[in-house]
Structure 1
């Protein structure tokens, strides 16, 4: 079966392409390379022995999206990663996020709604829960007003998909709300490689550890947590990629009980910023240069997942510990800087 992966050269997308190819799927990647490199194709090929099809397309250009689906008439499913994803940047550039994350989704769904049968996996986020009232967070937790434009685009995206599925019987979709992806493929052929200054904690830690960044800023130590820093659920990217394949297979086999379903993806364990730093220091054997600074707009106090539904319904469970995931990130960082 031929599967479209949008944003397939990105961090999570590239790891998902690898897992899809390992399961025998034929993959077509769309990416505009705004936050990724075509060199990632070489890494995917090195791991799997297969080079996926690649189309360099900006999904904001609707005519090109339409042309793509005329060229590839036999797409069996779509996994949609292509989106801007940094909380801080979204606060500063909200219109960029609304255009890129919402408009592109609409264009894709318009094309899929014309097909006889479509399977759609949406890259959503735990940010839809805002600051949840209870931990761990279940899928039944209320979706709260977003703390950032990025989070709002995920909420709106889910609403668009839900509304479209309601009136489009041939469209089956799963939204995967995942927590904080980290790490790199154990081969060190692909990993997280942000363009410019990293917006996520772990690559900033490893870049600081390798000397590329002078110092890591920890945004606030006065939160109501045990050590005063924010708590998140850090999940290994390969575990996450495998979950996307399982969700896709569920739709392709017609095992879904509704044509729109939602699953949390995480480890079920929360780790504070300082605990993540300590993990790096354990696996690297070196101290990290960091300082405490003021809080950052848009950050919530804590978020970690209840993964019962994904465990029982998808038959999926995270396998890697924080230290194992951190070691893979550190191995990747050292390799690409040599």
Structure 2
């Protein structure tokens, strides 16, 4: 068995742990019903576990009957966290709890997500399997850490589970960027945007820009230009431990987005330095989880190509 397969199998094994307290976070939008979240709360309580509600979720839905906890204190309060919503909810929670090594379970209250893989109707049985039977697979996902440097000083920094995107702040002209990897100049890029994506983010914005799909267990990061001036400019996959420096050359303003949840404005001469975060997001999946089945459903790989009509026009 090669090194990659050995590492992957090893990562999916975990000694049983004493799961006593479960924290929950939900999608906090004005049009969101609290019912899916309350269904999951009742399922967890029914398994004999204590429940905590993330403080913003608690305030949004008025769930004062349960103790609340901040994401900053989650590592000292809960053994595992459940995100109820969509991939956006999971992304927002995952980035913030990753430094505390709190594992995450994703329950999707809408359509099947790439990382919120448990459908709401299957949640009771899946949570029993994970929380009570302690039968689950463990998956670790890389994150990116990015700093915006101005005259060598850090003016903003953030993390991303999906991607860091350097994009135009207005409608005029392309961005002009110099890109270096591990202090070696790679290329000058003229494009509407440049996406720096993890394997998790390879099925998000990067995929829409014709980037490659990277399996979540690959140790890589992909750079995908959006509408580049040169048609020969193609995405490139770099080792995950690369340090990527992106310097804004043009005098037009630009914006750096971190998973679309936060952003920073940059100007000519600023450098965006991107590297692998020193911690990972940890996901717990039911044994029935199948990454390729998710790809088939989300990307319609299960549909046969349309056959050309044989009828005359």
**What TM-score, normalized to structure 1?**
0.27
Q: Which has the higher contact order (CA 8 A, sep 6+)?
A: 1
